[in-house]
Amino acid sequence: MGLIIFPIHFCLQVLNLAFWATLAVTFGLLKFMIRNQGLRVPIDAVLKVIIAQFGVMSVAMIKFFNRIDIDYKVNGELNPEGWYLVVANHLSYLDIILLIAFTHERIPTPKFFLKQELIWLPFVGVAAWALEMPFMKRYSQDFIKKNPHLKGKDIETTRKHCEKYRDAPTTIINFVEGTRFTPAKQAAKGNKFKHLLPPKAGGIAFTFAAMGELFTNILDVTLIYPGSKGVIMMDMLSGNLKQVIFDVDILPVKPELIGDYFNDAEFRDGFQQNLNQHWQNKDAKITALLEELKA
């Protein structure tokens, strides 16, 4: 059955992406050409509708072809006019689609911090540029040693984009692991966590420093795809996605999360300890949720 579903579902998802991406680029270019801020406001509103409808339509097709309900479990109340920092584990490109659909009519349109390489992805890269998503270029420690002038460049990108997001309610989504989880990556990191990769503190710390006083809450999103043992996107496109767990905890923005991460060693150590402890709790939560399914 998957051999029949895959080409149909794949083509429909590509068409959905291409349609909304084309609209995003069209209105993005129009916005780029207009310098009057007042005239840009309605274009921004259209762009928000575009990204929301892409996610909603994509998820509708996922539900149809996989015959599953995607239950967004939110432990608390959300505000469409609030500022939110979403912290999520990262398992698949499907995470992005689910997060976009989740924000629709619940919280403001999301902004993702994307890897620089994604700018070359067909439709996605140009559309993300038009939607003013920040592209992050991460450098290895060895590369920084050879090119010290690039140290902190990715953090500077974070700062510039965070300044743009201060003018209107915004949702910023940060995959703090920095990359998608795979068993190979987990083994390379030393197996500190059972279901996660170690979190990277720098980017999220700087986001707090730039916008911490604006955030209404932190949304801690836990994503699980029970029953998927291979490539999650392939399971989804083939109609073999068994279940999706999308669990959201609403957390306060505590004062101890805001500080000078790069110049205050004491704050940096405390921030890293808090984030690592949170990630350990998240890892334990995933284990508990999976055990519940077996019971």
State pLDDT tens for residues 73-86.
998 899 999 999 99
Q: Is the pLDDT of residue 95 over 90?
A: yes
pLDDT score recorded for residue 153: 57
- The answer, yes or no, to whether residue 56 has pLDDT greater than 60, is yes
Sheet with 171-174, side-by-side order of all strands: 71-75, 245-251, 217-224, 84-88, 171-174, 110-112
pLDDT at 23: 92
Residue 272 pLDDT:
94
Taking only the tens place, the pLDDT of each residue in 128-184 is: 777 777 666 554 555 455 555 445 555 666 666 667 777 788 899 989 998 888 888
Tens digit of each residue's pLDDT (9 = 90 or more) over 200-215: 888 888 888 878 888 9
Strand positions, DSSP E, 104-234 = 110-112, 114-115, 135-136, 171-174, 217-224
99 contact partners, CB below 8 Å, separation of at least 6:
55, 86, 88, 110, 173, 221
> What's the number of domains the chain is made of?
1
Q: Would you state the pLDDT for residue 7?
A: 95
On the 0-12 / 13-18 / 19+ scale of CB atoms within 10 A, 263 is exposed
Q: Is the pLDDT of residue 68 over 70?
A: yes
Euclidean distance between CA atoms 107 and 93, whole angstroms: 21
Q: In the predicted model, what is the mean pLDDT of the chain?
A: 85
Amino acid at 279: W
**What would the mean pLDDT of 246-265 be, rounded to a whole number?**
90
Collect all residues with Cβ–Cβ distance below 8 Å to 112 and sequence separation of at least 6.
96, 128, 133, 134, 173
Specify the pLDDT at position 230: 78
Mean pLDDT of 247-275: 91
In our burial notation (b when 16+ CB lie closer than 10 A, e otherwise), range 165-195 reads: beeebbbbbbbbbbeebeeeebeeeeeebeb
DSSP 8-state symbol, 106: T
Least confident of 11-20, 179-188, 216-225: 179-188
Please give the radius of gyration of the chain, using alpha carbons only, rounded to the nearest integer. Answer: 19
Exposed/middle/buried for residue 143 (C-beta within 10 Å: 0-12, 13-18, 19+): exposed
Which pLDDT does position 118 carry in this prediction? 63
Nearest-angstrom CA–CA distance, 105 and 118: 27
Q: Which domain holds residue 210?
A: 2-294
Q: How confident is the model at residue 188 (pLDDT cuts 50, 70, 90)?
A: confident
Identify the sign of the CA torsion 122, 174, 106, 287.
Answer: positive
Q: What is the pLDDT of residue 267?
A: 92
Mean pLDDT across 254-282:
91
Quick one: pLDDT band at residue 243, thresholds 50, 70, 90? Answer: very high
Position 60 scores a pLDDT of 96
| 15-28 average pLDDT score | 91
**Residue 70: band (very low, low, confident or very high) from pLDDT cuts 50, 70, 90:** confident
Residue 78, domain CATH: 3.40.1130
Q: Residue 192's pLDDT is what?
A: 83
